[in-house]
Amino acid sequence: MQRIDFETHPDRYRHWRLACDGPVAHLTMDVDPAASLFPGCELKLNSYDLGVDIELADAVQRLRFEHPEVRCVVLRSGREGVFCAGANIRMLGRASHGHKVNFCKFTNETRCAIEEACDESGQPWLAAISGACAGGGYELALTASRLLLIDDRRSAVSLPEMPLLAVLPGTGGLTRLTDKRRVRRDLADLFCSLEEGVRGRRAVEWRLVDEVVPPSRWEATVAERAASLAAGSDRPAGGRGIALPPLDRRFADDAVRYRHVDVTLDRAFRRATITVRGPDALPGDLAGIHAAGAAFWPLAMARELDDAILHLRFNEPTLGLLVLRTEGDAARVLAADALLAAHDGDWLVREIRLLLRRTLKRLDLTARSLIALIEPGSCFAGTLAELAFAADRALMLAGPQAGDAAATLALSALNFGACPMSNGLTRLQTRFLGEPETLARAEAATGRMLDAGAAMALGLVTLAPDALDWDDTVRLLLEERASFSPDALTALEANLRFAGPETMETRIFGRLTAWQNWVFQRPSAVGEAGALKRYGTGLRPEFDPERT
């Protein structure tokens, strides 16, 4: 498969139609069967592959930044008799193992972005379900604030993967049933075994949908419910959005260059170095932030870093080690954080902060070893210090080197609540789980430029070698990490990164993704006689009887 690109625009959509009409937008799923990322794979019945979800993720982002006037999004189908049949089965049968797992992860990250829009952006979604709504299609509907199902005796919701495919229902669908919809465990078990799904009043009684509507009242009810959701939004009715232009990026054999982010690829050592540059200049007030738009450093940097992470996930699967570096003026990074903190009531600033949070979560959820190197000239401060706290280990050079000023690390108010992880805690709360006094000492140091000794004393870095030992310590660490089993590292890192309380997100990414990883390697699903290979052939799959 050619390089997968996560950049797109509504003018190039093949699978979605976006129409904004004042406070209500309609996002219509109308998948082009011939436009799969996999040549020869037909996307029938509004089934989807990664390309469909890339467009969906773009639409979610643009609705939040380019359309502040939109206070409700109606999600619906443009196909008669089907809402969405879920992930395309033949695509799953043909895709590599890594692509399948990363596809499921990206799908769920996009779903979480929709739920965040509903809960925190004042942009609730309404799922208008007409026709068959199955598997990942029902999972997509589950992200909405309210689910309406037409009561036409044909339309139904289902998670039929168990009887049909021998894989986990909807990847995150199971978790949303229990954690979000509060469906009873025994009813969820029964639901997941029903190939035909559930329709009508029973769907409401089981809390699978919120309301069933007769065909005669369908369009009117959808409009009424959308207007009601829009009325409760705090988004500015007369607000002017900001355009999200294409990213300025250049691809080379051994690098990807953005304006604020560089990615250097070292395939011989199976690692990539991500360098994030701090801001050159910043606006002085809220009006300046809006005038800068997509060029405002926190927004521009987050978009670039997000794209870089996705590129590495899907296009460089053998680079299992990510080295995180920064360059720039730490004081300017803290000034950018101060702007975001001072104007957090503004809709655009809110969206920028939420995008930073989603991007850092994307890094947490990436199955690669993360090593942060804090050196002279770096700017691990405030929001960028989160990169060091996301890392599995952070090394900081003690003392000046070759006449340069010593490396520093600094904290801002945004380190203490603005960027929680999937577990609902900040990275520092997760780091100091069970040590509230250590967290308090760190917070007391907010705004100070901390040298290696101070950072070590506060528990903010792992090691602080001096100049004499720095090169050897870094080299040995990177070589050691590359020598370990990638599978063992993924298991280690995923467990350690999800410390603390369990949430719907940690159940999806920390637990369910691990099981999906396992299921997609088992013969019951992907063997020559497995369900994914035999789907549609008329032959019954053969299941491995061992339960482990």
- Opening angle at CA 309, ends 416 and 75, nearest 5: 85
Does 512 share its domain with 489?
A: no
Q: What is the predicted pLDDT for the residue at 256?
A: 98
Asked if the structure places residue 159 within a domain, the reply is yes
State the average pLDDT for the chain: 94
3-state SS track over 448-493: CCECHHHHHHCCCCCECCEHHHHHHHHHHHHHHHHHCCHHHHHHHH
pTM over 0.85? The answer is yes
Does 255 share its domain with 378?
A: yes
- Residue that is last in its domain, among 231, 262, 286: 231
Does 521 share its domain with 476?
A: no
Asked if the structure places residue 358 within a domain, the reply is yes
Does 69 share its domain with 114?
A: yes
Q: What is the predicted pLDDT for the residue at 403?
A: 65
DSSP string, 330-357: HHHHHHHHHHHHHTTTSHHHHHHHHHHH
Asked if the structure places residue 166 within a domain, the reply is yes
Give 248's contacts (C-beta < 8 A, 6+ positions apart). 258, 259
Task: Read off the pLDDT band of 257 (50, 70, 90).
Answer: very high
Asked if the structure places residue 548 within a domain, the reply is no
Residue 326 carries which DSSP code?
Answer: E
Does 303 share its domain with 440?
A: yes
On the question of pLDDT at 342 being above 90, the answer is yes
Does 489 share its domain with 513?
A: no
Tokens of residue 235, six digits:
């988004």
Does 207 share its domain with 329?
A: no
* Residue 194 to residues 32, 121, 123, 520, Cα–Cα distance (Å): 28, 36, 33, 22
Does 507 share its domain with 492?
A: no
pLDDT digits (tens, 9 = 90+) for 396-441: 999 876 667 899 999 999 999 999 999 999 999 999 998 999 999 9
Does 198 share its domain with 274?
A: no
Plot region of 229 (φ>0 → left; ψ -120 to 50 → alpha; else → beta): alpha
Task: Read off the pLDDT band of 188 (50, 70, 90).
Answer: very high
Look-up: residue for tokens 């396992």?
518
Residue in 341, 464, 333 with CA at minimum distance from that of residue 393: 464
Does 433 share its domain with 507?
A: no
On the question of pLDDT at 216 being above 70, the answer is yes
Task: Print the domain residue range for 465.
Answer: 249-496
DSSP string, 67-101: -TT--EEEEEESSTTEEE-EE-HHHHHHS-HHHHH
H helices present in 87-155, as ranges: 89-94, 97-120, 136-142
Plot region of 177 (φ>0 → left; ψ -120 to 50 → alpha; else → beta): alpha
Does 153 share its domain with 262?
A: no
- Indicate the number of domains in the chain: 3
On the question of pLDDT at 341 being above 70, the answer is yes
Determine the distance from the C-alpha atom of residue 302 to the mean position of all C-alpha atoms in its chain, rounded to a whole number. Answer: 13
DSSP string, 246-285: PP-EEEETTEEEESSEEEEEEGGGTEEEEEEE--S---SS
Task: Read off the pLDDT band of 1 (50, 70, 90).
Answer: low
First to last CA, the chain: 34
- Opening angle at CA 252, ends 249 and 258, nearest 5: 20
Asked if the structure places residue 540 within a domain, the reply is no
List the CATH number of the domain containing 314: 3.90.226.10
Task: Read off the pLDDT band of 533 (50, 70, 90).
Answer: confident
On the question of pLDDT at 340 being above 90, the answer is yes
The C-alpha atoms of residue 115 and residue 129 are separated, in whole angstroms, by 17
Asked if the structure places residue 239 within a domain, the reply is no
Give 528's contacts (C-beta < 8 A, 6+ positions apart). none
Q: What is the predicted pLDDT for the residue at 247?
A: 98
Q: What is the predicted pLDDT for the residue at 401?
A: 67
Asked if the structure places residue 151 within a domain, the reply is yes
Within 10 Å of residue 135's Cβ, how many Cβ atoms?
A: 26
Q: What is the predicted pLDDT for the residue at 360?
A: 98
Asked if the structure places residue 384 within a domain, the reply is yes
Check: CB of residue 336 under 8 Å from CB of residue 382.
yes
Residue 156 carries which DSSP code?
Answer: E
* Residue 435 to residues 378, 499, 503, Cα–Cα distance (Å): 28, 13, 21
Does 475 share its domain with 516?
A: no
